[in-house]
Amino acid sequence: MSRLRKYKPFARASAIDVMAYRFNIITWAIVTVAEVACLIFLWLAVYQSSEGGIDSSINGFTYKEMIVYVVLTTIFGFVTFNDDTVWFINRDIRQGTIGNFLIKPISYRGKFIASNIGAFLMMSLVFGIPLYAAGLGVLIGIGYLPVASIWDFIAHFLLFLVASVLACLLNGAISYIFGILCFYTTAAWGLNALKTTVIAFLSGTLLPIAFFPNIFREIVSYMPFAGMSQNPILILMMKYDYLECGKVILISFGWWVLLELIGKLLFNHAIKIVTVQGG
Amino acid sequence: MSVCCFVVDDFQYFQDEGHTTTKEPSTRDASFFCLARCGTIRNDTKGILNMIQVQNLSKIFRKPIRGKGLVGMLATLFSRKYTEIRAVDDVSFDIMEGEIVGYIGSNGAGKSTTIKMMCGILTPTSGKVLIDDKEPYLKRRIVAKDIGVVFGQKSQLWWDIPLIESFKVLKEVYQVSDSDYEERIQFLSSVLGVDEFMNQPVRTLSLGQRMRADLAASMLHNPKILFLDEPTIGMDVLVKDKIRTAIHALNAKYHTTVVLTTHDMADIENLCSRIIMIEKGKIIYDGPLGNIKRRFGNIKTLTLTIPPSVDPNEVKPFSEDVMMELDEDHKDKVMLKFDADKVVLEHIIQYSFSQYHAIDMKITDISIEDVVKKILAQQEEEHE
């Protein structure tokens, strides 16, 4: 435990950072409400023009479920993925400040895990609680998200929290790997754009993975990205039974361990080639 | 009066008169580390540790050669040629616990590269570094607890938060106990005066304050070794003095081993019992400062500003011991180099005013660059 204590300042610092930028929620809210409205109308058009009309089910999603999915994914993305890991690593490399971390008795990755978790906790506390409360309240209230048993819902909600933490860690690990690639190239902007696009597409943020073609869908559902957005949301929507919940959480956990390992190997190679500027 | 002398490699190490050998030899004494280098004193005797061991250390940087213009740039996409730069070339030395060693050389000589390998930022191409018997680039986190590092040109403090908060972060990172922390803050406040600006954000500190703060930050966890890369760069005389006093105090109180690079000859004179001089990646001198002075004399440069009416070539330099140099770009400057032990300063100044009709004058000590030049020249002579 005492070994973890030295990472506390980094978690605290990023939590404080969240508070410093808390008014970002206003711009986020304006953009997001418009985006969600567009998506709602888009899906409305899709379902209305389908054979069974508005009440049909496409790839296992009814129109109502689709709306719930869109709303929850949007909140989830805002609360869970808020990291600038790639930018921080790129800056440390370009400005040579990476040396400051290499001479301290802390792990570089550990520092980022601490700040990701710190930011995640603060985001959950400040924005997560009110946004989920409002979102779920409305969706359940208007009957879009039917809750048969309150205990069933609470159990799924707790599993969702576990899946959220894993999603945050997975996102951090993938960002870290992309960040370490900045040792080899100066194209940080491109790397970050690539990362964002890949995650948005393969995690089911843009479109549930069920909508992908057959084989592709099978592959993607076993990739780490599914655990970063779609799976936590489907757990919360109670689309998974407990066995499936356990399965997707285990897969995510396995991927997280594997990605951390890859990140570590990559970092160990990268710092051998590091050439700190300035003599 | 006792003068003892040991011959090691090509150099002679003298011990000054008056310094009699005590029962527990101070590691600062030239004779002591000379003995250690001869192999008579080992790590296990008398509790004195070989704190840093550098063995055949080399670092080669590869730089891609870029062609000229757009065509050349495209060509490098397909075939890459590299030039190899040997920043550090087969360097070996040992540093004992409690020594203050000046690691000096001209710009780009390989000082910082060596320091960065010693603190684990860079991995050597070949050879190795042992810090208290551990290789820093392999056991980074373990070695990090034993070392403190200050890079004069780069602060490691958090820019936007008050200094005290940076210290608290470091306290947690290095897991310093409350009582140790209190004791150290008190000590560092007394020698560096950091308490004056403890509550200011680091970005509001002056350069001198920031350097004192950085030095204090690197000492919070009481490292065994302190690496200082140009700690006095850009400082005024008062701050330089404060920093030197602090380094002495740290060394005396905690027996901290200090390795510092500098371009300031005064730093070396005030602090270092031993200097290691590097040029083009190779060590060209390793020994006490006194020897260098003895070899090259107490060289000073008197720079005169003369009126245009005086032709310096027509004036005979003061004596045979005085070398005159002229600057092509500044016709009104004359530089007289002399050994202050052989030439009386007062006489040469009087002579300059009467013969050169000097308007202004400045006296400077020999610079590190000059010493390097002299050593290289002497080594070439020896080879011939």
What is the overall mean pLDDT for chain A?
A: 89
> Shortest CA distance to B280 belongs to which of B31, B22, B105?
B105
Q: What is the pLDDT of residue A136?
A: 93
B174 is written with which tokens?
């290095």
**Taking CB atoms and an 8 Å limit, are A105 and B144 in contact across chains?**
yes
**Per mean pLDDT, which range of A9-23, A188-202, B20-34, B89-103 is the poorest?**
B20-34
pLDDT(B38) > 50: no
Q: Residues of chain B with pLDDT > 70: what percent? A: 85
pLDDT at A194 over 50: yes
* Half-sphere CA count of A32, side-chain side, radius 13 A: 17
Q: Looking at CA atoms only, how far is residue B374 from chain A in angstroms?
A: 23
Interface test with B, best of A102, A108, A183, A277 (most B CBs within 10 A): A102
Pair B82, B247: CB distance under 8 Å? no
Tokens of B39: 């192999």
- Inform me whether the C-beta atom of residue A138 falls under 8 Å from chain B C-beta atoms: no
Q: Do B121 and A272 touch (CB under 8 A)?
A: no
Query: Encoding tokens for residue B221?
Result: 């966890």
Distance from CA of B88 to the nearest CA of A (A): 11
pLDDT on residue B176: 93
Q: Give the nearest partner residue to A9 out of B120, B156, B172, using CB atoms.
A: B172
**Chain B contact for A4, CB < 8 A?**
no
- Nearest by Cα to A9 from B192, B219, B176: B176
To the nearest 10 degrees (0 to 180), the angle between helices A24-49 and A63-80 is 160
Within 8 A of A279 by CB-CB distance, chain B residues are 107-108, 111-113
Interface touch A99/B154, C-beta < 8 Å: yes
| Residue ranges covered by each domain of chain B | 3-45, 297-383
**CA distance linking residue B344 with residue A136, whole number of Å:** 92
Q: Is A107 on the interface with B (CB under 8 A)?
A: yes
Superfamily name with CATH number, domain B297-383: Malonyl-CoA ACP transacylase, ACP-binding (3.30.70.250)
Model confidence band, residue A156 (pLDDT cutoffs 50, 70, 90): very high
Could you tell me which residue, B34 or B357, shows the higher pLDDT? B357
> Is the CB of B216 inside 8 Å of chain A's CB atoms?
no
- For A144-210, give the DSSP string: SS--S-HHHHHHHHHHHHHHHHHHHHHHHHHHHHHHHGGGT-S-HHHHHHHHHHHHHHHTTSSS-GG
Residue B248 token pair = 């002495």
- At residue B23 the predicted structure's pLDDT band, cuts being 50, 70 and 90, is very low
* pLDDT, greater one: B153 or A82: B153
What digits encode the pLDDT tens for the residues A94-109? 888 888 888 899 999 9
Q: Which residues of A touch B145 (CB under 8 A)?
A: 105
Q: What is the pLDDT of residue B14?
A: 35
Residue A275, pLDDT score: 62
Q: Does residue A185 belong to the interface with chain B, where contact is any CB pair within 8 Å? A: no
Distance from CA of B191 to the nearest CA of A (A): 24
How many interchain CB pairs under 8 A, A with B?
65
Please indicate whether, in this complex, the C-beta atoms of A107 and B172 are within 8 angstroms of each other. Answer: no
Which residues of chain B neighbour A102 with C-beta distances below 8 Å?
119-121, 140, 144
Residue A200 has pLDDT above 60, yes or no: yes
Give the other-Cβ count within 10 Å of A24's Cβ: 13
Per-residue model confidence (pLDDT) at position B40: 35
Q: What is the pLDDT of residue A75?
A: 92
- For chain B, the distance separating the N- and C-terminal CA atoms, rounded to the nearest angstrom, is 37
Percent of all residues in chain B with a pLDDT value above 90, rounded to a whole number: 30
Residue B308 above 60 pLDDT? yes
Assess B108–A contact: CB distance below 8 Å, yes or no.
Answer: yes
Q: In whole angstroms, how far apart are CA A218 and each of A222, A223, A231?
A: 7, 9, 14
A96 touches chain B (CB under 8 A): yes
B126-131 sheet: strands from edge to edge: B82-96, B50-64, B126-131
Interface test with A, best of B84, B103, B116 (most A CBs within 10 A): B116
Give the model's confidence band at B48: pLDDT under 50 very low, under 70 low, under 90 confident, else very high: low
Which residue type sits at B223? P
Task: Determine, for residues A2 and B175 on separate chains, whether the beta-carbon distance falls below 8 Å.
Answer: yes
Q: Which of A99, A104, A279 comes nearest B108 by C-beta?
A: A279
For residue A1, the model assigns a pLDDT of 59
Q: How far is B313 from chain A (nearest CA, A)?
A: 41
pLDDT-derived band of residue A28, with 50, 70 and 90 as boundaries? confident
Is B153 part of the contact surface with chain A (CB cutoff 8 Å)?
A: yes
pLDDT at A5: 84
> pLDDT band at B276, cuts 50/70/90?
very high
Q: Is the pLDDT of residue B87 over 50?
A: yes
- Are B211 and B192 spatial neighbours (Cβ–Cβ below 8 Å)? no
- Output the pLDDT for position A120: 93
Residue B50 C-alpha, separation from nearest chain A C-alpha, in angstroms: 21
Binary contact (A99, B111; C-beta < 8 A):
no
Put simply, whether A276 touches B (Cβ < 8 Å) is yes
What are the CB-based long-range contacts (under 8 Å, 24+) for B337-341? Answer: B337/B299, B337/B300, B337/B301, B337/B302, B338/B299, B338/B300, B338/B302, B339/B297, B339/B298, B339/B299, B339/B300, B340/B297, B340/B298, B340/B299, B340/B300, B341/B297, B341/B298
Residue B339: enclosing H or E segment and its boundaries? strand B333-339
The answer, yes or no, to whether residue A7 has pLDDT greater than 80, is yes
Among B113, B145, B159, B173, pick the best mutation site for testing chain A contact (most A Cβ within 10 A). Answer: B173
Q: Give the CA angle between residues B133, B127, B152 to the nearest 5°.
A: 75
CB within 8 Å of A208: residues ≥ 6 apart: A59, A61, A69, A230
Residue A88 reports pLDDT greater than 50: yes
Question: Cβ contact (<8 Å) for A106 and B173?
Answer: yes
pLDDT at B58: 93
Per-residue pLDDT, A172: 94
- List, as own/partner pairs, every contact residues A52-56 make where C-beta atoms lie below 8 angstroms and the sequence separation is at least 24, other chains included: none
Quick one: pLDDT at residue B129? 94
Mean of pLDDT values over A126-139: 92
Look up the ipTM and state it: 0.79
Other C-beta atoms lying within 10 Å of the C-beta of residue B324: 17
B80, B88, B140: best to mutate for the A interface, most A CBs within 10 A: B140
Give the span between the Cα atoms of B141 and A102, in whole angstroms. Answer: 8
Q: What is the pLDDT of residue B115?
A: 92
Position A223 pLDDT exceeds 60: yes
**This prediction's pTM:** 0.79
Residue B47: the pLDDT is 55
| A247 reaches B (C-beta below 8 A) | no
% of residues, chain A, pLDDT over 90: 58
* B208-231 pLDDT per residue, tens: 899 999 999 999 999 999 999 988
| Cβ–Cβ gap A276/B121 under 8 Å | yes
